[in-house]
Amino acid sequence: MPSSKFPSGFLWGASTSAHQVEGANHNQWSVWELENAKSLAAQAEYQYGDLDNWDEIKTQALSPDNYVSGTASDHFNRYKTDIAIAKKLHMNSLRFSIEWSRVEPKEGSWDSAAIDHYKRYVDELKTQGIEPVVTLFHFTLPVWFAEKGGFEKRSNCSYFVRFAEKILSEIGKDVRFVITINEPEVYAFESYYLGHWPPAVLSKKRAIKVLHNLAYAHNQTARMIHGLNRRYKVSIAKNSNYFYAGDSATLSIRSAIVMQYFQDDYFLKKVIKECDFIGVNFYFSNRVYGYRIHSPNEHVSDMGWDMSPGDIEHTLERLHERYHKPIIITENGCADASDKKRQWWLAQTIPAIQKAISKGVDVRGYLHWSLIDNFEWDKGRWPRFGLVEVRFDTMERKVRTSARQYGEFIRKVTN
Ligand code: BGC
């Protein structure tokens, strides 16, 4: 990995989200997990049976327990240990999310113990010299908010703004970076169009409505936050994959352009005025032939996702050319239990970011997904995204080789 030419103050770290790591959450997701664990286990062979690593994952994938977040990675209780690991790895930033259902378990009633927990969390980060990047909505909703129709109703957005205001009034003095919404399109698409995630709706119309309401929620929240103080830097975490034509046919070229537009610009255009930077989550590229995606799959992750980490350079360049805003990579990584792929991934990604920077792209941070192994939504526990391995039976943490290499790189580049 190259060790120079990153701007000073660059954020080096990793990301997590509350529901995926904390454990013991009660929200719309945890309810849905209990209702769907058996059927997810029953579909596992059909869904994942073709993966090269099926033999290794099948015991877990076929078990209903795998699909219930339960204690997750017990990060709620072990956050000090995990933050200490991040510190040891020389990270200077961590992205995490605040679980709305803990803070406001019933409409309008704030749980002071939960708020104190997040205060202590931010204090711990600050004590360790780690910059917090706070996410307010990372796919999970309080049950009461979901019952009111969640983000399907525009009028409900005011509850989210009120939650954001409460959080910033409580922990805001130590926070600069705020992500309002994680991957709005992924949420709308999985939850309201594909129906894979709660509330498991299958309607294009409703998905688009949710997407528009999420843009509205972001804009309202960002205005509120800037009204509190201009020093806050607010954005969304934008899922941005790279689309490219696989051949020189006009149809492939045009399709890739259109797909990229809907992937990036359709939503970003609605919120960019209220973004101080662009948070980018980059996981894969899509090679387009005609109307279809056929990625090369030369390298694939444990989840079968095409791995083309170097393409992050093109994504960064494109977003820079279109929007001229600073960029923080808020998520990037791969599912890899062996850790070999992750080492390769990081070794490809960091020079690609550096190349983008050398071409003038204003990249301000890189937060790897994820700090620790966690609960991967409807796939459960077998996808291993952590720089740090978690043994889910004992909750023991083990720093992976990729993490040591990344940590050593950060040490060199920041000294
Ligand atoms: C999400 C994470 C998820 C990761 C890997 C992103 O879409 O924000 O919650 O774990 O991808 O699938």
Q: Give the DSSP H or E segment for 343.
A: helix 340-358
Strands 388-391, 396-399: pairing is antiparallel
Residue 4 has pLDDT above 80, yes or no: no
Please identify, by atom number, the ligand 1 atom nearest to the C-alpha of residue 17: 9
- Give the pLDDT score at 322: 98
Radius of gyration of the chain (CA): 20
Residue 330 has pLDDT above 90, yes or no: yes
For residues 34 and 324, give the distance between their C-alpha atoms in angstroms, rounded to a whole number: 44
What is the distance in A from the centroid of ligand 1 to the CA of 223?
27
What is the distance in A from the centroid of ligand 1 to the CA of 403?
19
What is the distance in A from the centroid of ligand 1 to the CA of 331?
8
For residues 260 and 254, give the distance between their C-alpha atoms in angstroms, rounded to a whole number: 10
Taking CA atoms, 332 is separated from 107, 194, 338, 359, in Å, by 34, 23, 17, 21
Residue 204 has pLDDT above 90, yes or no: yes
List CB contacts of 372: < 8 A, sequence separation 6 or more.
Answer: 16, 21, 73, 75, 82, 386, 387, 388, 389, 390, 397
- Say yes or no: CB of residue 17 within 6 Å of ligand 1: yes
- Give the pLDDT score at 1: 55
What is the distance in A from the centroid of ligand 1 to the CA of 364?
21
Q: Which of 377, 384, 387, 390 for a ligand 1 pocket mutation test, highest count of atoms within 8 Å of Cβ?
A: 377
What is the distance in A from the centroid of ligand 1 to the CA of 201?
20
What is the distance in A from the centroid of ligand 1 to the CA of 388?
16
Of the chain, the end-to-end C-alpha distance in Å amounts to: 15
What is the distance in A from the centroid of ligand 1 to the CA of 393?
23
For ligand 1, atom 9, the nearest C-alpha belongs to: 17
Angle (nearest 5°) at CA 120 between 119 and 125 = 100
What is the distance in A from the centroid of ligand 1 to the CA of 385?
9
- Say yes or no: CB of residue 331 within 6 Å of ligand 1: yes
Query: Sign of the C-alpha dihedral, residues 223, 229, 233, 237?
Result: negative
For ligand 1, atom 12, the nearest C-alpha belongs to: 376
- Say yes or no: CB of residue 186 within 6 Å of ligand 1: yes
- Give the pLDDT score at 232: 98
Average pLDDT over residues 290-308: 96
Q: Tens digit of pLDDT for each residue in 82-113? A: 999 999 999 999 999 999 999 999 999 999 99
For residues 141 and 100, give the distance between their C-alpha atoms in angstroms, rounded to a whole number: 7
Residue 401 has pLDDT above 60, yes or no: yes
For ligand 1, atom 10, the nearest C-alpha belongs to: 376
For residues 363 and 277, give the distance between their C-alpha atoms in angstroms, rounded to a whole number: 10
Residue 185 has pLDDT above 90, yes or no: yes
- Give the pLDDT score at 94: 99
- Give the pLDDT score at 334: 98
pTM of the shown model: 0.98
Q: Identify the structural domains of the chain with CATH numbers, from first to last.
A: 11-414 (3.20.20.80)
- Say yes or no: CB of residue 376 within 6 Å of ligand 1: yes
Please count the CA atoms within 13 angstroms of the CA of 182 that sit on its side-chain side: 24
For ligand 1, atom 3, the nearest C-alpha belongs to: 376
What is the distance in A from the centroid of ligand 1 to the CA of 14?
13
Query: Between helices 340-358 and 312-323, what is the axis angle to 10°?
Result: 30
Phi, psi at 177, each rounded to 5°: -105, 125
Q: Which of 136, 138, 376, 381 for a ligand 1 pocket mutation test, highest count of atoms within 8 Å of Cβ?
A: 376
Q: Tens digit of pLDDT for each residue in 227-260? A: 999 999 999 999 999 999 999 999 999 999 999 9
For residues 366 and 356, give the distance between their C-alpha atoms in angstroms, rounded to a whole number: 13
What is the distance in A from the centroid of ligand 1 to the CA of 369?
8
Residue 3 has pLDDT above 60, yes or no: no
Among the listed residues 272, 415, 282, the one whose alpha carbon sits nearest the alpha carbon of residue 350: 282
Strand partners, 389: 398
Task: Enter the DSSP assignment of 106.
Answer: B
Among the listed residues 355, 363, 368, 362, the one whose alpha carbon sits nearest the alpha carbon of residue 410: 368
Average pLDDT over residues 133-160: 98
Please identify, by atom number, the ligand 1 atom nearest to the C-alpha of residue 374: 10
- 10 Å Cβ neighbour count for 204? 10
Strands 396-399, 131-137: pairing is unpaired
**What does the buried/exposed string (b/e) look like for 136-175 if buried means 16 or more CB atoms within 10 Å of the residue's CB?**
bbbbbbbbbbbeeebbbeeebbebbbebbbbbbebbbeeb
Among the listed residues 279, 330, 369, the one whose alpha carbon sits nearest the alpha carbon of residue 21: 369
